[in-house]
Chain A
Amino acid sequence: MYALLAIGFSLIFGVARIVNIAHTAFYMLAAYCFYTLLVKTGLGFVLSGLIAVGAVTLFSVLCYRLVIEPVREHEAAVLIATIALALVFQELMLFTFGGHFLGIPSTLEGAVRVLGVSIPYQRLLILVVAGIMLAAVWFVLYRTRLGLAIRATANDLEVANLMGMNVHRVAMATVALSVSLAAVAGVVVAPVFVVDPFMWLAPLVTMLAIVVLGGLGSLKGSLIGALIIGYVEAITVFAVPAGAYLKGAVALIIMVAVLLARPEGLFGVAFEEER
């Protein structure tokens, strides 16, 4: 989940220089959309998931056109606008669904024991879906014309513009691609977690830690950063059981340490070379 969120966040920053604080709020919207379609209207898992991802992706494009694009040239304004957007989404969900914690049935029931550890099938499904999505992102970026345009824009926005690329449209496509990753995360993770209006906050902090660790704008860095932060969180619980609540703080400490020691993150240099 962390990898899907962090890669999407990094992608939109790398291409359009948009720090989208509302990124995990779209993940929350997708989880609510999936809940409504699956539990309230009774559509199946696959149909509910596809509609939820599609609807949230389209909605993100609308939000981009109406809220982000008009202020895109001003980074501080974009930051504030996306924070506002996330809070609006949170309050809308609170108004619509109340502060209830909602559960979604597992797509796959049961668990398998590996080396004495019980792993539910739903978690294996998340792993598989995350793998497929990451492969799909790689394919789009490196094997399609859209991917070429995205990479070109990420390399140099002005030159891409001078070469005749519609950089605004590329940015919009990148927003759609990155939010679709967040929406997929919302759909596959919702059956494991609890859906509530504040569910976007905790992953936001972890996601920021990951992208700083991996290098802001670096997709490879985001993937490896997600693995590192995930393991660090688990190790924290095993090493300090009474300090399990500190796992979020440990991620933030890593973020601060990286900012102090290597502000460009683990793969920031490689990323700069790519640029």
Chain B
Amino acid sequence: MLRSFIVGLAAFALAGIFDSAAHAQTIKIAILGPMAFVQGENHWAGAEMARDEINKAGGVNVGGKPRQIELIRADTNEIQSVPDATNAVERVITRDRADFLIGGFRSEAVLAMQEVAMDHKKIFLGAGAAHSKLGQNVEDNYSRYKYWFRYTPTKDVDLARTLFAVMNSIAQQIRTELKTDTPKVALLAEKAVWTQALVGAAQKNLPAMKMEVVGLWQPSATATDVTAELSAIDRAGAHIVFTMLSGPVGIVVGRQMGERNMKAVAWGINVEGQKEEFWQAAAGKAQFVSTLDTYAEVEMTPRTVPFVRAFKERYKKMPTYTAATYDAIHMLKAVIEKENTLDAEKLVAAIEKIEHVGTGSIVTFDKRHDLVWAVGKTAGIAVQWQDGQKVPFWPPTVKGMKPFKLPAR
């Protein structure tokens, strides 16, 4: 009995030693995302591409020793359950011994995941959530939250700046083509926390930009029918439907606008409209729907087009913005090799100073560890669906942009 106990104990100790040795050979990066959904799929796809490229090229050089990247796939199920998301983070840190965390999508869940990561002093590169509070935490309590960086997207306030910049350009085109001085704008925002600031900003800023706000309609993010809303918008004579939609209602809006042959054009945030599957999901009716986006075959940076082509070849579809896990891993590699360490304290200081040329943006961080907003660098692009293709049209200074089109009147 005693002998069995001693043999068991020895085996356990040996397993621990081998596990530590194996652990020392790799850098473990947990990819956190809702893996049953498009956002999580893109988190994982971007990370896989970065891992394969880096490992094939010899890994990450830490103190003269190459280390391979090992990814941990963590399904946070955050769209359905915030507790599931925090459990996933806890698990990858304590059981899987992840060195770094990348991902997250739903702001409510990422705020909770941020707390767990900060408890364990793990560097967490956000790749999906836009809520300002995530960066505000860093400013309010730097010593606790300094391990958090938002790699993508820009925070919600900066998203609004991009939206108004594009809106101005569309309004100008309407003034010219439709001979109207004051384009009419209908606000169509799903009822959610993230749209509140945008709606307020639109109601305040659009009149100052010589546009008339004809009304605000707020369907549920999961509404399956917006016929009544679109009828009212049609009657109000809107030229632009300013969309603030992240849920499946974005597909319904695109489809039903097409079915009704509406003369107004949709511009804004339509998360479903960013996906490759949108045209099919809207049954080919979402002609001229436009949205803020991240990736297209345009030269946002020298790395954009090669990445997008490689992604399309491997996964047979376009990347969405959460595929920026690819850039986040490359940035980590750059700072680890520069600092020659995996020590979080030293890496945080290095990331704060970095200017990283990614595939969708050129990244620098402010004191909140949010992206520094700049058109042509981190503001993203605007795309419009034209005959089944997602056509990039803004910023016009970037090579490869095409004209924005209005529905025929």
Contact = CB atoms under 8 A, between A and B. Distances in A.
Interface in B1-59: 34, 36-38, 41
A69 interface: no
B277 A244 contact: no
By CB atoms of chain B within 10 A, which of A191, A233, A234, A241 has the most?
Answer: A241
Interface residues of B, number: 39
B38 A241 contact: no
Contacts of A122: 259
Interface stretch (A46-54, A101-109, A251-259): A101-109
Closest 3 CB pairs of A and B: A237-B228, A103-B281, A99-B37
Contacts of A123: 227
Nearest to A233: B228
Contact of A105 (B219, B272, B284): B284
A111 B260 contact: yes
Interface in B176-200: 190-191
Given A105-B283, A106-B283, A193-B224, A100 B218 contact: no
B343 interface: no
Interface in A217-275: 233-234, 237-238, 241-245, 248
A120 interface: yes
Contacts of A101: 248, 251, 272, 277, 281
Given A103-B251, A191-B283, A237-B229, A242 B223 contact: no
Interface string A107-142: 000010000011010110000000000000000000
Contacts of B281: 100-103, 194
Given A103-B281, A105-B284, A194-B248, A237 B260 contact: no
B280 interface: yes
A241 B248 contact: no
Given A111-B261, A202-B222, A193 B216 contact: no
A118 B256 CA distance: 11
9 contacts: A100-B277, A101-B281, A118-B261, A202-B222, A237-B229, A237-B232, A241-B217, A244-B223, A245-B220
Contact of B224 (A94, A194, A234, A243): A194
B140 interface: no
Interface of B: 34, 36-38, 41, 79, 190-191, 215-220, 222-229, 231-232, 234, 248, 251-252, 255, 259-261, 272, 277, 280-284
A248 B219 CA distance: 10
A103 B283 contact: yes
A253 B252 CA distance: 26
A198 interface: yes
A241 B232 contact: yes
A192 interface: yes
A5 to B, nearest CB: 13
Contact of A245 (B36, B38, B219): B219
Contacts of A117: 231
B228 A244 contact: yes
A268 B280 CA distance: 45
B36 A244 contact: no
Interface in A74-107: 94-95, 98-106
Contacts of B283: 103-106, 191
B218 A245 contact: yes
A245 B191 contact: yes
Nearest to A191: B283
A140 B224 CA distance: 31
A238 B260 contact: no
B229 A244 contact: yes
Given A193-B224, A194-B252, 8 more contacts: A94-B36, A99-B37, A99-B79, A120-B260, A194-B251, A196-B248, A237-B228, A244-B226
A7 to B, nearest CB: 20
Contacts of A120: 259-260
Nearest to A240: B218
A184 interface: no
A237 B217 contact: yes
Contacts of B190: 245
Contacts of B282: 103
Of B261, B272, B281, the most chain A CB neighbours within 10 A belong to B281
A196 B221 CA distance: 13
Contacts of B227: 123, 234
A111 B216 CA distance: 26
Contacts of A244: 217-220, 223, 226, 228-229
A242 B79 contact: no
Contacts of A118: 234, 259-261
Nearest to B190: A245
B191 A99 contact: no
Contacts of B79: 99
Contacts of B272: 101
Contacts of B229: 237, 241, 244
A194 B283 CA distance: 10
Contacts of A198: 222
B33 to A, nearest CB: 11
A245 B284 CA distance: 26
A199 B224 contact: yes
Contacts of B232: 237-238, 241
Contacts of A242: 215-218
A241 B216 contact: yes
A27 to B, nearest CB: 12
Contacts of B191: 245
A74 B282 CA distance: 44
Contacts of A104: 283
Contacts of A100: 37-38, 277, 281
